[in-house]
Amino acid sequence: MDKKLKRFLKYALVTACIFLAIGWYMQYCNNPNNYFTIATQQWWQNVLLNIGAGLLTTIAVIFFYDMVLLKNSEKDKIFKSQIALNSLYKVLDDHFRHVLYAMYRSSALQEKEFNSLDDFFSDEYFKEIEYLDFNKSPYLNKDDERQDEVEEYSSIPRNYKIVLDYNKRLAEYLLNEVLMAYGQFLEADISEVLQEIRFSPFILYSYNLPSLTKWHSQSFFKMLRPLAVNGSIAPNGFDIKENEELIEALKKHVNLFKQIVSLYNKYAPPEKKFTFEKASNGVIIEWGCCRITNKIITGTASLSLSDDEADINKTILKKITKIEEQLNKLITEPNVKSV
């Protein structure tokens, strides 16, 4: 109820009580001091009682009408709040399916079962993401054949860099739409986290994903991945600093995502709560289809290392070590002679 209306009703109630009190006094005291004639007394008595009764009736009508409006307003707020939560669920579900879960599924070799989001977003999640090949398309299988079951908008195979950029821009746009249209009907804590996730470092960072190094596209150096991982190159082809920035941004983004899911589940009805089982159901991207590979095949490079392949890598590394030793000797020999 408006403050001005409350003040008016308060004064009206006091005035009505005064009028009624005077009217009743005049009625039952029978004009003891003969201030008025009987006719005048009855006239004033009726006027005061009628005004007091009218004011009380007006106050009652306004009060109950305001109660009805308040009740309808609460119903409307609950209804729009449910619409806002439903819209938010669609954004969270889409973002989880096409970005967070898809990245893990595309880079992890073996299918695994998870009971909850906390179980899913473990340290292993971020380790597997480091093997995601941004040059591959999640809509092709390991044999580079189109997966017909995937969504229609993905009918044109695009590499992961483009896919992630599109989906994260879409998430940012949809979150902004939810805030603009239904922000006033969402709880304050949800709106606050939504503002944070819109400017998540992972979303902002994705606009300028570091370009893959030349090393990433050269199969010769791919065979030397065990050496490169211990040096300045990460498994995904970024240099170590770039990779740390990407993973750190992803960790912050995942924490914000978990916060918003937790708050959503706090206010959502039981049948509409966000769960890992529902969100991951129906995702058809093949496991490991975009994982960076380290398998030594002539002219190509793919993933898992057999014992024989590991031995080959060791042999190559030994040869490189010998070459480095010979180069060091050539470099140091002139200096030795000059001494």
- How does pLDDT run across 198-209, given as a tens digit for each residue? 778 777 665 555
Look at residue 306 in the predicted model and tell me its pLDDT.
Answer: 42
Mean pLDDT value across residues 50-75 = 75
Lowest mean pLDDT among 65-74, 145-154, 229-238: 145-154
Give the chain's end-to-end CA distance (angstroms, integer).
96
Tokens 């109950």 belong to which residue? 64
Q: Are 46 and 79 in contact (CB under 8 A)?
A: no
Give the pLDDT band of residue 219 (cuts 50, 70, 90): very low
How do residues 267-278 score in pLDDT, each as one tens digit? 888 888 999 999
Tell me the two tokens of residue 245. Answer: 């920035």
For 239, list phi and psi in degrees, rounded to 5.
Answer: -70, 165
Tell me what pLDDT residue 295 has.
39
Three-class secondary structure of residue 261 per DSSP: helix
Contacts of 213 (CB under 8 A, 6+ apart): 233, 237, 238, 239
| pLDDT tens-digit map of 83-95 | 888 888 988 998 8
- H or E element in which residue 169 lies: helix 160-182
Q: Are 142 and 286 in contact (CB under 8 A)?
A: yes
pTM to 2 decimal places: 0.61
Which of 23-37, 70-84, 98-112 shows the highest mean pLDDT? 98-112
Q: Where are the beta strands (DSSP E) in the chain?
A: 295-297, 300-302
pLDDT at residue 201 in the model? 77
Query: Which residues have C-beta within 8 Å of that of residue 106, sequence separation ≥ 6?
Result: 132, 136, 138, 160, 285, 286, 287, 288, 289, 290, 291
